[in-house]
Structure 1
Amino acid sequence: MRNHKNIMIVGTSSGAGKSITVTGLCRAFLKDGYRVAPFKSQNMALNSYITKSGHEMGRAQAVQAMACEIECEYYMNPILLKPTGDRRIQVILNGKSIGNMNGFEYGKNKGNLKKDILEAYSKIEKNYDICVLEGAGSPVEINIKDDDIVNMGMAEMVDAPVILVADIDRGGVFASIVGTLQLMEPEERARVKGVIINKFRGSVDILKPGLDKLEEIIKTPVLGVMPYFDLDIEDEDGLTDRFKKIKEKSKNIKVSVIKLKHISNFTDLDALGAVDDVEINYVTSFNEIGDEDLIVIPGSKNTIDDLKIIKENGMGQEIIKASRKGTPIVGICGGFQILGEKVLDPYGIEGDIKELPGLGLLDTITIMEKEKRTIQYSGKLKNCKGLVEGLDGVEIKGYEIHQGVTESEKETLTEDKEIVAMVKENIFGTYIHGIFDNKEFTDGILNKIRKKKGLSEKYSEMTFHEYRMGELDKLEKLIRENINMEEVYKILGGK
């Protein structure tokens, strides 16, 4: 393949399976010997990632870059929109925040961002054989189609052929495909070269008469039907099965994750949930707290609002009660800030509340500053006691994304000038996203819980990175088994 080629994946709706399809195709193209990169011009998500250069981008594109076995770069997702509450969004452009806007303000200005998008895409065009682009939501939101920069408008900007993905699990798949194509302009419709049906439970033979009829109606080939599968690959947003309640309680270690209203970077829990004797439950009510072995307060895009909510709904008091019984509590980023004595917001970064007492479980004060800290992290633990006793010298890698700066007169757990981790008996807080991706750290925490419960110690046989790459290989295999890759290559422009 001498020249750069591209292909775009759009969906009939949010959650149709665009991200996982892009990830799988990226992996397949890589395995076929091509240099591949993902691209999503605009992403709205609270799951974000920090590149080596300190730029912020959507977590989904970072995972797709992992599937391509390349270093993720901000230009793979030049615009990231992070809802902050009160109908406002933080706009991340080329990896850096340019401030908060309401939807009207952003909509009025987004047409001016085409230059930034094309400049970002040009970096991929110059350096990669293939780019797999991803759309957002539905490509036919007719009320906001003007100045589209992420779906068919993006496909036009870079002259990309399009594959439409539809989710059969939610029902109405044929109507959603036909309706989506009907609402496209003729020139947009001409770009759609194939359809993929996603999340099918059952025998494809039963579906075949419907597929034949569909192809007759839309005059576009169905490239394949992906089965409903259970692979442990990170999701893009909250449209995920992970938040559903677990009915069968069969695992030894129960973890309650506080599902904050503004929960962010919930993929921090993926490595913990991959351990075979750990059960993750996302809890939303105070009466769901009390019988777990570990409580995790995850990241938040609006710490003060989430702190206010969990204090008012009783969850905060139940967390305090659990801590007094000796239950380990871990706070990550916003969760770390919530565990402290108080949170101050003198510049109104998160809203009108200038000061709010925290849960008081750590001797810290957090001040929201104007500048956001975005950096990859690498360091070693020291002064380990309580919940992290015995982990001195353990290397920790991850990344930081936080507006607040945390202060304390107590000992910290690293040599860094900025406080990134602290412990007080059974309470641990950190700014490091991906903390549980560190095998020795996670084994250490879980073995303390196992010992307390009279269980034998266990140690992970592989790193979380090795585990994740194995899951990506399983996805590639599924893609090849269920999608007509020969037709995909024809759409792409030849192998």
Structure 2
Amino acid sequence: MTDGGAGPAGPAATDSPVSGHTVMIQGTTSDAGKTTVVAGLCRLLHRRGVDVAPFKPQNMALNAAVTDDGGEIGRSQALQARACGLAPHTDMNPVLLKPESDRGAQVIVNGRAIGHRDAVGYQRYKAVAREAALGAHARLAARHALVLAEGAGSPAEINLREGDIANMGFAEAVDCPVILVADIDRGGVFAQIVGTLALLSESERARVCGFIINRFRGDSALLQPGLDWLERRTGKPVFGVLPWVRGLLLDAEDSIAPGDGGGAGGTGFHVVVPALPRISNHNDLDPLRLEPGVSVTFVGPGQPPPPADLIVLPGSKSVRADLAWLREQGWAEVISRHLRYGGHVLGLCGGYQMLGRRIADPGGVEGPAGSLRGLGWLDVDTVLAPDKQLRQVAGDLVGNPQARWRGYEIHNGVTAGPGCARPLLRVEPDGRAEGAVSADGQVMGSYVHGLLDEPDARRALLAAMGWRARGRAVSYDSRREADLDRLAETCGRHLDLARLRPWLGLSPDG
């Protein structure tokens, strides 16, 4: 007996994908590795000359990027676009939900914030979001031969099936095959797959064309009896078993786990980051892990902060709420003591706002209207405005024209005050001053995401905070490109492309 049979026959093979062909990668759970699998396949196919583009109809993430067409999408879709050799575009992630609390989120549609919805309110809004997702997919499919779509969470969430646009609801609407990814590192991988199939409708089960098992450690020969059983049980192929790939430095989709660390094993220059409840764009700190002797530690609630050379206050989707959390957790005292002993502090986006004297939200942009006293280490004030500032920017550090940087701004705040007379950055082409530096040089703030990506700017900033350079400077972009290539090579070695090609619309030797 099988769960739904072998499904429909695969699409006819051609010399190249039929224009607009779509395949969807769904997962048995959140964090099954869908984003990474899509990125790896995108780069693998791009290297083989396939005109492929990524797509995620609905994403829930606090790590976002600004696109070339001036909108906002999930940062993981920007990474997948890079894997395809494409500039990120709002059509690649038409619906983005940015959680602001446990019950509500800011809703981004076609790259622009349209307001806030609680869970019930968003369920009512889904019909509008569905049309936006289908329209974006149609435009993307018209421009590219193959679209690799990524699901969100699991397709077997019974309570979310009505009006679904993130998984099977989208796949059924565009009539595309689905590949199911399961994470074996969590344990119970066969139960994940069979259980997911059991909770799908008959037409949805038939749409699943096969499976990819992800994050396997060990001798794959020991897994073979289970794979044989799974194929007999379901009548569907296992397209491959991807190993755990260590050391990938790629943009994460979701918030970082509290206490996660990196760098040089706790030696050398210590960077400590409070893991805010609504932390956003923590990827800004990934480039620090490339520097020899630099360690990065995220500190969660109730955890004592370790000794630090640099404390970084990261971005936040709910700045006033996260500032209140910082005070509750004792970080105001930690930072004060840290500065008394000669340490340094860097605030990025929301963290920059927290370092000022006051944050005002008269229109209730991020919650109830009101204002909150800031930490007061920078002589600036911030007013939150409804119009979000979205722009790609580039320039150099003030006083150091060789320290080049490139990044983007994505914020509702307007920050001003005497502290801005000591800017951190110069923005091209007009020489606009950006950010602020305290009179003693110990505290710095900026709205620029990606400020640390370029090695010259990163090393100059670290040097100003007491770090002594070691070894060769490494470009974060170069490392990311190398890791995408490594991921593609892993997919090429461990996936059965002969079985996958018909579902991708490729010829047998494509």
Deviation (angstroms), 1:419: 6.0
The answer to whether the 8 Å contact 2:291/2:474 transfers is: no
Quick one: structure 1 residues 298 and 250, their matched pair in 2 at CA, closer, same or farther if it must change by over 3 Å? closer
Aligned to 2:343: 327
| Conserved 8 A contact 2:180-2:208 | yes
Name which of structure 1's ranges 393-402 and 241-250 shifts more when overlaid on structure 2.
241-250
**Distance verdict in 2 for CA 1:237–1:311, change over 3 Å:** same
Cα distance per residue 1:439-479 (max 9 Å; x no partner): 1111112334555xxx5x33644421111100100001111
**1:337-486 equivalences in 2 (<5 Å):** 337-352=353-368, 354-382=370-398, 384=399, 391-392=400-401, 394-410=403-419, 411=421, 412-414=423-425, 420-424=434-438, 425-449=441-465, 455=468, 457-458=469-470, 460-486=472-498
- SS of 1:469's equivalent in the other structure is helix
CA shift digits 1:156-192 (9 cap, x unpaired): 2222111000011111111110000111111111111
Deviates more, 1:178-187 or 1:245-254: 245-254
The residue type paired with residue 232 of structure 1 is L
Determine if the alignment matches structure 1 residue 490 to structure 2 residue 502. Answer: yes
Within 5 Å, which residues of 2 pair with 1:117-156?
117-156=133-172
Q: Deviations over 1:2-25 (max 9, x none)?
A: 522221100001000100000000
- Aligned with 2:127: secondary structure? helix
User: How far did 1:418 drift?
Assistant: 7.2
Answer whether contact 2:18 2:505 (CA < 8 A) is retained. Answer: no
SS of residue matched to 2:159: coil
Query: Is 1:174 the equivalent of 2:190?
Result: yes
Instruction: Single out whichever of 321-330 and 68-77 deviates more from structure 2.
Output: 321-330
- Superposition TM-score, scaled by structure 1 size: 0.93
- The residue type paired with residue 165 of structure 2 is I
Name the structure 1 match of 2:39.
23
RMSD (Å) for aligned C-alpha atoms: 2.0
Assess, with a 3 A threshold, how the Cα gap between structure 1 residues 181 and 233 changes in structure 2: closer, same or farther: same
Q: Residue 281 of structure 1 aligns to a residue in which SS?
A: strand
Gaps of 5+ in 1: 385-390
1:111, CA displacement in angstroms?
Answer: 1.9
Report the residue type matching 1:25 in the other structure.
L
Q: Deviations over 1:185-233 (max 9, x none)?
A: 1111111111011111111111111111111111111111111122111
**In structure 1, distance between residues paired with 2:352 and 2:263:** 29
Q: Which residue of 1 aligns with 2:60?
A: 44
Secondary structure, aligned partner of 2:185 = coil
* C-alpha distance after superposition, 1:357-396 (max 9, x if no partner): 11111111001111111111122332x4xxxxxx345332
319, 324, 345: which one aligns with 1:303 = 319
1:241 deviation in Å?
6.0
Given the alignment of the two structures, is residue 3 of structure 1 paired with residue 3 of structure 2, yes or no? no
- Over the matched positions of the two proteins, sequence identity in percent amounts to 40
**1:349 Cα offset (Å):** 1.6
Cα distance, 1:354–1:419 mapped onto 2, change above 3 Å: farther
Shift of 1:288: 2.9
Distance in 2 of aligned mates of 1:418 and 1:41: 36
One-letter amino acid of the structure 1 residue matched with residue 409 of structure 2: E
Call closer, same or farther: CA 1:327–1:161 in 2, change over 3 Å: same
Q: Which has the higher contact order (CA 8 A, sep 6+)?
A: 2
CA distance in 2, matches of 1:244, 1:413: 29
SS at match of 1:81: strand
Q: Give the distance between the partners of 1:241 and 1:312, measured in 2 at CA.
A: 20
Name the amino acid aligned to 1:397.
R
Correspondence for 2:279: 263
Q: Matches of 1:117 and 1:351 in 2, distance apart? A: 27
What CA distance in whole angstroms lies between the structure 1 residues aligned with 2:264 and 2:455? 27
Partner of 1:388: none
3-state SS of the aligned residue for 1:125? helix
Q: Which residue of 1 aligns with 2:330?
A: 314
Q: Distance in 2 between matches of 1:349 and 1:141?
A: 31
Partner of 2:221: 205
116-125 or 277-286, which moves further after superposition? 277-286
Provide the rounded CA distance (Å) in 2 between the counterparts of 1:305 and 1:320: 20
CA 1:101–1:285: 2 relative to 1, 3 Å: closer
The equivalent residue for 2:9 is none
Partner of 1:81: 97
Distance 1:311 1:195 in 2: 47
Query: Distance in 1 between the 2:223 and 2:298 partners?
Result: 35
Structure 2: state its 5+ residue gaps: 1-15
Shift of 1:309: 1.0
Match of 2:113 in 1: 97
Decide whether the 8 Å contact of 2:271 with 2:297 is kept in 1: yes
Q: Specify the SS of the correspondent of 1:270.
A: helix
TM-score, with normalisation over the residues of structure 2? 0.91
Shift of 1:65: 0.3
Work out whether residues 422 and 428 of structure 1, in 8 Å CA contact, stay in contact via their aligned partners in 2. Answer: yes
Output aligned runs, 1:236-247, within 5 Å.
236-238=253-255, 243-244=259-260
Kindly provide the CA deviation profile for residues 292-347 of structure 1, in whole angstroms up to 9, marking residues without a partner as x: 11111100000000111111221122112212222111100000000111111111
